[in-house]
Amino acid sequence: MDIFLTLLGFIFICLGIIGSFLPILPGPITSWIGLLLLHLTKAIPKDWTFLGITLCVAIAIFILDYFIPAFGTKRFGGSKYGAYGTTIGLIVGLFSPIPFGMLIGAFGGAFLGEVLFDRKDNTQALKASFGAFLGFLTSAMIKFSIAFIYFLLFLSKVWEYSSVLF
């Protein structure tokens, strides 16, 4: 059972890293579930303080994830349509065969949202879409950093207790 929980935890850790860039998965929270699964094994002692602190960080990042892109959009004069366009463009770009499709989709979606729905001229829409894009990148990098730290914590615990786990 310990090996199963460890492998399942590793899958959640990896999904958390992927979820840092996809709006479908809450990256740090998914990674935290991986840490929780690892601590539910009999081989690793339960450290509820560690789990509580990492959960609070994951929840804080999850909440901030809703404000950072909107802040970036508003800071550069964008509207809610630019923020919506960023998300839609990100999802469309995810399925795109071109390299960096998610990034191009997020920027293009913000631009189209501003031009088509908020009726801004191209210069204003370009500035607003840059703000939405910058907000998305900032949010994604923060989520990725936390998910990667959780990945390293996971690996260190597995390494520390590998003789008992395997």
Buried b (16+ CB within 10 A) or exposed e, 1-24: ebeebbeebbebbbbbbebbbbbe
Q: What phi, psi does 25 have (nearest 5°)?
A: -105, 135
- Positive or negative: CA dihedral 152, 154, 157, 161: negative
Domain of residue 134 covers 2-165
* Helices 48-75, 27-39: crossing angle, 10 deg rounding: 170
Residues in the chain, overall count: 166
Percentage of the residues of the chain whose pLDDT score is greater than 90: 42
Task: With a cut of 80, say whether residue 146 has pLDDT above it.
Answer: yes
Q: What phi, psi does 80 have (nearest 5°)?
A: -65, -25
Q: What is the mean pLDDT of the chain?
A: 88
Return the structure tokens found at 118.
Answer: 């908020």
- Tell me, what's the pLDDT at 86? 79
Mean pLDDT along residues 84-104: 80
**What pLDDT, in 10s, does the model give residues 42-83?**
999 999 999 999 999 999 999 888 778 777 777 888 788 887
**Maximum separation of any 2 CA atoms in the chain, in Å:** 63
**What pLDDT, in 10s, does the model give residues 128-139?**
888 877 888 888
* DSSP conformational letter for 127: H
Provide the domain count of the chain. Answer: 1
Asked which of 28-32, 35-39, 44-48, 66-70 is least confident by mean pLDDT, the reply is: 66-70
Please, what is the Cα angle at 44 between 42 and 150, to 5 degrees? 130
Return the structure tokens found at 80.
Answer: 């809610």
